[in-house]
Amino acid sequence: MHHLFFVILSLIGFLNISYGDWAPKSLTESYHPRYSTVGNPNISPEHDCALRAFTIEMATYIEPTFSKTNWTTLSQSAFQMNQCNGTSHTAYQPSSSDKLFKTAPEIKKGTCHHTVFVHDLKGNNLFDGTFERPMKTIQAALSLTRTLRAVHDSGNTLCITIRGGTYYLGTNATIWSSQIGAIALTSDDSNLVIENYQDERVILSGGTLLQLQWSVHAKTATGGTIMKAQVPPSVNLDQFNELYIDDRRAIVAKYPNGDPSTQGLYAKDPGFSYDSQRWWPPNLNRSVEIHVQEPSRNGTVFTNYQLGLGGGAAVFNPPRNFWSTASPPAGDNYAVPSGLTVKNGALPHISNWSTPTTGFVHAFHSGYWGSWIFEIASINSTQNTIIFGRGGFQEARGSRDGGAFYVANIFEELDSPNEWFLDRDTRTLYFMPNETMPNVFVASQISCLISVSGSGIENPVHNVLIRGLILTQTSSTYMRDYMVPSGGDWAVHRGGTMYLTNTKNVTITRHLFTQLGSNGVALIDFNDATSITLNEFVWLADSAIILVGSTNGIDGFSVASQPANTLIQSNLIHETGIYVKQSSPVLISVSRSVSVIGNLMFNMPRAAINVNDGFYGNHTISWNVLFNTVRETSDHGPINSWDRQPFLTDAVQPGLPSLWQHGSYIHHNTLFNNYRSVWPIDHDDGSCFYEDSYNFQVYGGKKNYLGHSKTDHHEIYVYSDVNGGGFGSNVCLSDYAPTRGSSGWNETWIQNTCVLYQSPVPYNIENCDTANIFVPYLANNKIYIPSGTQVAFTCKVNGSSTRLSLEQWQSYGLDIGTTVQTAPDVQTIIEWGREMLQRTT
């Protein structure tokens, strides 16, 4: 083990961590050290390792003392520190005078007026729910609390306390909706606490435990054994789309082989094929277009509200899509390929596929902005062609072509350990073990475990606390309904493991969401003052936390059906987006005043935090540590925002409808812009009214694209010019296509520190011309360039592009107070970061 390891170990060991029964299995499982790219390939490994070590240290700051997390294992594996050779970097030792990041407060549940106990093994639904005579099921306990409300004051808090055990909510389940949970709270269930008993492990499974009689089906050519078993009639095969074996998602038989949980485009062996030959043209079907002329947003690129209905947008539910219009600014008529022809030999078993229509094709969008999943409608194996059926709606932009792909759920592809296939006609489950047959097989049966659904905005479920549960083993939802929430690139499944709608003051805390087929928490439409704190989310097929509101077209003013005042604090979110690549730990769409504070997020296919629109604004994203984002997609970063679709709200002044939004604040985050991340804070198309400050941003600079009114100050940008490939952030500040009257106005970049690694060019301001200066307001920045280089501010002078010295640049009245110096060593930069992040003012 390396020196740096020991430093990190001792640093982490220093903290008071208690595990008890709580240490989630996921974190003690070994990760697969297969990652092909860590840090940045263009930079010296020593610098990269030092910066990553710094990020780990910052991560420890957000750790609550009662964390369930084994940070030792976590940080070793997450950062792949084994790839850092022994270096002399000394890791930081916190002293008592350091200000630690504020963690989410432990929620006090108040007094339980009455408690109903639940015990899976010893309980009986005919008992009275006392500690000695507990109920058997949570559903029965919920019914009992409703009865008790008749005798207690409805304002009194009732509690359901669950004893340790595994509750298979999927067994004989009758609810299949992804919006109604097996445990379904309604407006009659306000003032309720649902929690685990003390530190007991309460596992809520969305599956059913399978009792199987296995026999050998066949030996494979490579010496493997395919086992088979009959699935009992009580199991609903329609919802059996995930198999969890010994608490881990097993692999739906696929080609190329590989485990989607631990392999993807970030891995040396990605489990995807790049051997497509031709994507079949989309079946174009025009939508009905809605263009709202008034009101419109003056001074922007995206002035008008527009939407396509029906036609190609009919694959979404509801059947509408911002991208289903014919005309720009941002319309290109969403459509996806209708099929795929692969190169000869790229699907070597295709001629043996007996029932190709069981299969799915998982494919990246051609621009790697997300992925699609299609059913297979038919094949022509002599032509190496697959024709797609339903699908392709898992992102909203569409494209004529796809990218890397794999094929899943075809019996003849069951040829590798841990793969399974279910023959629905004969109810036969096939599975290929590695060497010894595992023990516990759980078939997914439902996707939503707990729903909290009020009957309306006027009658929300209120004051509910749900705490301390392990939620796991749900059905996948990637072929369920998706909808397009607003003008970002996203389509989203409006369901989740916990589904909330029409609620007020609901707290979701101290849970482990693990091994899930859907999103973690879905806040849909009106949810006021939801707190999501101190949870861990890991091994999710889709996103962790989604906020999706709705409007009446452009009108979000007279319609309050949006999440508002949400607090997402001190959560640990990683290994998300196993199937759905256009997914994020946190999606914010059509929502008001969301605070995302002090969370740690890493290992995901796309952005960690995606703000899909500028609906109302007033979001705060602070004190988060985000790294290993955008591992499989492109053109994005740890934090992403868009604003292409105007909405009316009262963000500017209460009671006054306006298309302008409230400011949002991004500060004190540590952002490690590695893998395919391009901009640490990607303020993409039209983003406006952001104040970004005191962020420590590694490997990327500031971005403006078609937006305005953003202010950056007191940022530290480290090595923002090493992003390789000639695309994106290779400077401190990129201002794309600024145009008077529509974009790039009221942009401010002051009092920032930017360290360049190899280039002496601080800015890329497109169309810069000293005869007609239209650049962000620049002042009092500290720019550091490599030793032996000469700074060059590039701008047109007398009609031709010129490299200007600082003095020449300042002679045009620009960047007054800015200095240019030689870059210091990485330890000095890290010290700056430490000082900045500990300064809490």
Q: Choose between 348 and 817: whose C-beta lies nearer to ligand NAG.
A: 348
Encoded one letter per residue, x for contact with ligand NAG by CB under 6 A and - for no contact, window 510-549 reads: ----------------------------------------
Structure tokens at 435: 């060497």
Minimum distance of ligand NAG from residue 77's CB (angstroms): 9
Which of positions 637-696 make contact with ligand NAG (CB under 6 A)? 662-663, 689, 691
Among 16, 88, 354, 798, binds ligand NAG (CB under 6 A): 798
DSSP secondary structure code for residue 628 in this structure: S
Longest dimension (CA), the chain: 89
CA–CA separation, 500 vs 522, rounded Å?
Answer: 6
The one segment of 268-276, 347-355, 787-795, 825-833 that binds ligand NAG by CB under 6 A = 347-355
CA–CA separation, 164 vs 120, rounded Å?
Answer: 8
* Residue 593 engages ligand NAG in binding (rule: CB under 6 A): yes
Minimum distance of ligand NAG from residue 789's CB (angstroms): 20
The one segment of 90-98, 309-317, 473-481, 753-761 that binds ligand NAG by CB under 6 A = 309-317
Distance of alpha carbon 404 from the chain centroid:
21
Among 80, 595, 751, 827, binds ligand NAG (CB under 6 A): 595
* Residue 230 engages ligand NAG in binding (rule: CB under 6 A): no
Structure tokens at 674: 């590695």
Among 330, 465, 706, 755, binds ligand NAG (CB under 6 A): 465
- What residues have CB less than 8 Å from 235, skipping those under 6 apart? 208, 210, 443, 445
Q: Choose between 507 and 624: whose C-beta lies nearer to ligand NAG.
A: 507
The one segment of 241-249, 324-332, 345-353, 537-545 that binds ligand NAG by CB under 6 A = 345-353
The one segment of 111-119, 129-137, 307-315, 321-329 that binds ligand NAG by CB under 6 A = 307-315
Among 329, 417, 657, 724, binds ligand NAG (CB under 6 A): 417
Encoded one letter per residue, x for contact with ligand NAG by CB under 6 A and - for no contact, window 143-182 reads: ----------------------------xx----------
Minimum distance of ligand NAG from residue 547's CB (angstroms): 14
Minimum distance of ligand NAG from residue 654's CB (angstroms): 7
Encoded one letter per residue, x for contact with ligand NAG by CB under 6 A and - for no contact, window 363-402 reads: -----------------x-xx-------------------
SS3 393: coil
Among 13, 20, 33, 110, binds ligand NAG (CB under 6 A): 110
Among 41, 741, 817, 824, binds ligand NAG (CB under 6 A): 741
Among 234, 293, 439, 841, binds ligand NAG (CB under 6 A): 234
Minimum distance of ligand NAG from residue 97's CB (angstroms): 29
CA–CA separation, 45 vs 50, rounded Å?
Answer: 9
Which of positions 32-91 make contact with ligand NAG (CB under 6 A)? 45, 70, 72-73, 83-85
CA–CA separation, 158 vs 4, rounded Å?
Answer: 50
* Residue 314 engages ligand NAG in binding (rule: CB under 6 A): yes
Among 42, 156, 186, 285, binds ligand NAG (CB under 6 A): 285
Phi, psi angles (nearest 5°) of residue 508: -120, 110
Structure tokens at 689: 């009214």
Minimum distance of ligand NAG from residue 818's CB (angstroms): 19
Q: Which helix (H) or strand (E) holds 50?
A: helix 45-61
Minimum distance of ligand NAG from residue 798's CB (angstroms): 4
- What residues have CB less than 8 Å from 534, skipping those under 6 apart? 64, 103, 104, 106, 509, 510, 569, 570, 571
The one segment of 92-100, 343-351, 442-450, 757-765 that binds ligand NAG by CB under 6 A = 343-351
Number of residues that bind ligand NAG (CB under 6 A): 52
Q: Choose between 377 and 832: whose C-beta lies nearer to ligand NAG.
A: 377
CA–CA separation, 243 vs 252, rounded Å?
Answer: 8
Which of positions 605-644 make contact with ligand NAG (CB under 6 A)? 618, 620
Minimum distance of ligand NAG from residue 101's CB (angstroms): 17
SS3 147: helix
Q: Which helix (H) or strand (E) holds 794?
A: strand 793-797
SS3 314: helix
The one segment of 142-150, 390-398, 495-503, 707-715 that binds ligand NAG by CB under 6 A = 707-715
CA angle 633, 634, 635 (to 5 degrees): 145
SS3 461: strand
CA–CA separation, 731 vs 701, rounded Å?
Answer: 6
- Cα atoms found within 13 Å of the Cα of residue 480, Cβ hemisphere only: 22
- How far CA 264 is from CA of 81, 176, 272, 597, in Å, comes to 20, 30, 7, 29
* Residue 797 engages ligand NAG in binding (rule: CB under 6 A): yes
CA–CA separation, 572 vs 338, rounded Å?
Answer: 39
Phi, psi angles (nearest 5°) of residue 277: -110, -40
Phi, psi angles (nearest 5°) of residue 7: -65, -45
Describe the chain by its helix, strand, coil percentages, rounded to 5. Answer: 10, 35, 55
Q: What is the DSSP string of 664-679?
A: EEEES-EEE--TT---
Q: Choose between 418 and 767: whose C-beta lies nearer to ligand NAG.
A: 418
Encoded one letter per residue, x for contact with ligand NAG by CB under 6 A and - for no contact, window 6-25 reads: -------------x---x--
CB-based burial, 772-790: b 16+ in 10 Å, e otherwise: eeebbebbebbbbbeeeee
Question: Residue 649 pairs with which residues in a beta bridge?
Answer: 658
Among 10, 93, 277, 351, binds ligand NAG (CB under 6 A): 351
Among 124, 154, 220, 434, binds ligand NAG (CB under 6 A): 434
Bond into 64 cis (ω within 30): no
Q: Choose between 417 and 657: whose C-beta lies nearer to ligand NAG.
A: 417
CA–CA separation, 574 vs 74, rounded Å?
Answer: 10
Structure tokens at 412: 């003849």
Q: Choose between 227 and 314: whose C-beta lies nearer to ligand NAG.
A: 314
* Residue 348 engages ligand NAG in binding (rule: CB under 6 A): yes
Which of 566, 596, 567, 570 is CA-nearest to residue 584? 596
Minimum distance of ligand NAG from residue 465's CB (angstroms): 4
Q: Choose between 163 and 710: whose C-beta lies nearer to ligand NAG.
A: 710
CA–CA separation, 517 vs 474, rounded Å?
Answer: 5
- Cα end-to-end distance, the chain, whole Å: 39
Minimum distance of ligand NAG from residue 368's CB (angstroms): 26
SS3 97: coil
- How far CA 487 is from CA of 130, 448, 613, 645, 684, in Å, comes to 52, 27, 6, 5, 12
Among 165, 224, 295, 310, binds ligand NAG (CB under 6 A): 310
Q: Choose between 486 and 591: whose C-beta lies nearer to ligand NAG.
A: 591
* Residue 807 engages ligand NAG in binding (rule: CB under 6 A): no
Minimum distance of ligand NAG from residue 352's CB (angstroms): 4
Whole-angstrom Cα Rg for the chain:
27
Minimum distance of ligand NAG from residue 699's CB (angstroms): 16
Residue 123 · residue 138 · CB < 8 Å: no
Q: Choose between 352 and 828: whose C-beta lies nearer to ligand NAG.
A: 352
Which residue is listed with tokens 């790039």? 744
Residue 685 · residue 369 · CB < 8 Å: no
Binding site for ligand NAG (CB under 6 A): 19, 23, 28, 45, 70, 72-73, 83-85, 110, 171-172, 234, 283, 285, 298-299, 310-311, 314, 348-349, 351-352, 380, 382-383, 417-418, 434-435, 463, 465, 505, 507, 593, 595, 618, 620, 662-663, 689, 691, 709-711, 741, 746, 797-798, 802
